[in-house]
Structure 1
Amino acid sequence: MGAGGRAPSFPAIARMSSTTELSVTVFLRTSHAPMPNIMLSPEEISAVAKYIVSLKRGG
């Protein structure tokens, strides 16, 4: 969780040393109770993961 019990922003996730395209992909495919499952296609998950990782490079 981020500040105030909120999820961290995409730029904050990108700045984490553990963030890779694979780690974001696995996270998006994994359930996280009590949140509802994210209903994204494999292509959408890949696009989100690539976008977040691009922020690490200032993209």
Structure 2
Amino acid sequence: TEVKAAILNEPTLKVAEINVETFKGVVQLSGFVRSQENIQTAVRIASNIKGVRSVKNDMRMK
């Protein structure tokens, strides 16, 4: 929920487009976003959350 909240608070991202799943410190991001910049932003935000060990990016551009 902390990762999802951080993405929600980022005005350049649409949280409805990004699915967040977390298991033992590994965050998986999936969904369809508008740009490569959005992908990089979401991965950066998730990586900076305390307790996140790694981020798996399965997001694609629309």
TM bucket (normalised to shorter chain) is 0.3 to 0.5
More helix by share: 1
Normalising by the residue count of structure 1, what TM-score does the alignment of the two structures yield?
A: 0.36
Instruction: Name which structure has the greater RCO, CA cutoff 8 Å, separation 6+.
Output: 1
More strand by share: 2
Larger radius of gyration: 1
Normalising by the residue count of structure 2, what TM-score does the alignment of the two structures yield?
A: 0.35
